[in-house]
Amino acid sequence: MSNPRDLFLQLLGEMLWTERTLAFEALPELRCDVTAEGLAQAVDEHLEQTKEHAARLEQVFRAAGAEPSSNLSPPAEKLAEHRKQLAANVPEDRLKDVLNAAAAAATEHLEIAMYDALIELAGALDLGDARELLEENRKEEEEALRRVEDELGKLVQAAATARATAGSTGPGA
């Protein structure tokens, strides 16, 4: 990339790909794998937000004077593939929910980092309207991260308690 605008549009395209893929593939697949009620609600709520994120990103493209286009985001693609591979090998629902919550948190961290870069670039390029839209998406991603991390803590505690309880009533107890 030869200038900040080119980098901005490249990253913006990757972010649009990420949000579209999350909205129409990854989050619906994740939701099908989730059994814990709290995590399911968090995924459902964030799925609706993610659809809005994609629409806002299309507006950001237009604010930057470009037509919306999406570019494959290799890190986001790898995170989704990794979650699927691991989940296929975890037979216990409780542990699969822990894995799913951790994978969701990892994706939120990636999205937040990408939004941070886009927000800084939008500021440097004097794209005030675009920056506001990006900041709105980032704020919702941060809220989703907090929610999924809260659920992850609950799930880990429940799994640990279940293991301790099973261990105290199992053979040799």
The whole-model pTM stands at 0.92
Domains of the chain, each with CATH number or no CATH: 4-158 (1.20.1260.10)
Q: What is the DSSP letter of 170?
A: S
Q: What is the dihedral of CA 88, 74, 123, 128, to 10 degrees?
A: -70
Q: What is the dihedral of CA 18, 143, 44, 153, to 10 degrees?
A: 110
Q: What is the DSSP letter of 64?
A: T
Q: What is the DSSP letter of 30?
A: H
Q: What is the DSSP letter of 70?
A: -
Res 167: pLDDT: 66
71-109 residue pLDDT tens: 999 999 999 999 999 999 999 999 999 999 999 999 999
Q: Are 152 and 133 in contact (CB under 8 A)?
A: no
Res 169: pLDDT: 54
CB neighbours of residue 76 within 10 Å = 21
Res 142: pLDDT: 98
Res 173: pLDDT: 45
Q: Are 43 and 27 in contact (CB under 8 A)?
A: yes
Kindly give the parts of the chain with pLDDT less than 70: 1, 167-173
| CA neighbor of 119 nearest in space, from 109, 110, 131, 133 | 131
Res 171: pLDDT: 52
